[in-house]
């Protein structure tokens, strides 16, 4: 599965899967289904306005619908963190190729080239589909020019299946109560790093992650506790403390 490497706020590289054709098509179909419903409503209002009030009101309703349709993707991606409603349902989002949030200019380029990627005279999306299929990062023409792509938001490892699935004894005593300064996403990231170490033996990420975690929660590590044991303890402590808070 193709992926893109993203550097997090903790300066740790994490790979995300690039969204495939299936997710993109499904997201677009969801958006179009919403517009189909909105079109029916707009058409009914157009008829009512033309008959009961004046033809001018009907034209205004039609123009408003066309404006919403034209600017929908741009406005949604700017205000919904790179997602439309369809993308949110499919859990995919637009992201810069370097892993950062796209700028307004990048969103604007993607939107402007939608007319070429999805325009009727050019085959209702044939250009976009062909470009996504053959490019390395699965980019349509607008993405190529904006240097963006779409990634899957679902983590490769589910937190509720692994990161918080420790079997700890009732008498377990947390060593670092400061772990409550961490978020679920921080814990997921630590788990990703540990999983990578277990699979590859590459300790460099362990050292980097441990250093960043110590700085973030302001703890002193007991003598004899190495970086690997520290991160494993952080996961256990977080799991134990949060499980107690939820009971």
The Cα angle at residue 227 between residues 225 and 228, in degrees rounded to 5: 95
End residue of a domain, out of 152, 186, 220: 152
The reply to whether 147 and 169 lie within a common domain is no
Give the single-character DSSP code of 176: -
The reply to whether 62 and 132 lie within a common domain is yes
End residue of a domain, out of 111, 136, 152: 152
End-to-end Cα separation, the chain, in angstroms: 39
* Alpha carbon distance 2, 205 (integer Å): 22
Strand, helix or coil for residue 46: helix
* Length of the chain, in residues: 247
| Domain range for 112 | 3-152
Q: Could you read off the pLDDT tens digit of each residue along the chain, which spans 247 residues?
A: 577 766 554 455 566 788 888 889 899 999 999 999 999 998 888 787 777 666 677 778 888 999 999 999 999 999 998 999 999 999 899 988 877 789 999 999 999 998 888 875 555 678 888 888 888 888 999 999 999 999 887 644 444 444 445 567 778 889 998 998 888 888 888 888 888 787 777 788 888 899 999 988 888 888 889 998 999 899 988 888 887 765 5
Tracing tokens 């983590």 back to the chain, one arrives at 155
Q: Do 93 and 87 meet the contact criterion of CB atoms below 8 Å apart?
A: yes
The reply to whether 164 and 101 lie within a common domain is no
Number of structural domains, the chain?
Answer: 2
């Amino acid at each position: 599965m193709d992926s893109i490497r993203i550097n997090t706020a903790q300066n740790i590289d994490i790979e995300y899967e690039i969204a495939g054709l299936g997710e993109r098509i499904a997201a677009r179909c969801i958006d179009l289904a919403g517009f189909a419903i909105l079109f029916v409503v707009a058409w009914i209002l157009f008829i009512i306005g033309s008959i009961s009030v004046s033809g001018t009101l009907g034209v205004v309703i039609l123009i408003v619908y066309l404006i919403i349709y034209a600017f929908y993707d741009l406005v949604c991606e700017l205000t919904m963190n790179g997602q439309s409603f369809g993308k949110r349902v499919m859990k995919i989002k637009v992201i810069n190729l370097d892993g950062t949030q796209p700028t307004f200019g990048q969103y604007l380029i993607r939107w402007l080239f939608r007319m070429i990627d999805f325009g009727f005279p050019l085959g209702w999306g044939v250009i976009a589909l062909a470009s996504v299929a053959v490019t390395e990062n699965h980019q349509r023409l607008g993405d190529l020019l904006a240097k963006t792509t779409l990634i899957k938001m679902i983590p490769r490892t589910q937190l509720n299946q692994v990161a918080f699935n420790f079997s700890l004894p009732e008498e377990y005593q947390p060593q670092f109560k400061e772990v409550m300064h961490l978020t679920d996403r921080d814990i997921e990231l630590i788990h990703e790093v540990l999983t990578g170490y277990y699979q590859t033996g590459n300790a460099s990420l362990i050292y980097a992650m441990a250093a960043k975690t110590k700085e973030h929660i302001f703890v002193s590590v007991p003598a004899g506790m190495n970086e690997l044991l520290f991160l494993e303890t952080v996961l256990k402590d977080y799991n134990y403390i949060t499980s107690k808070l939820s009971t």
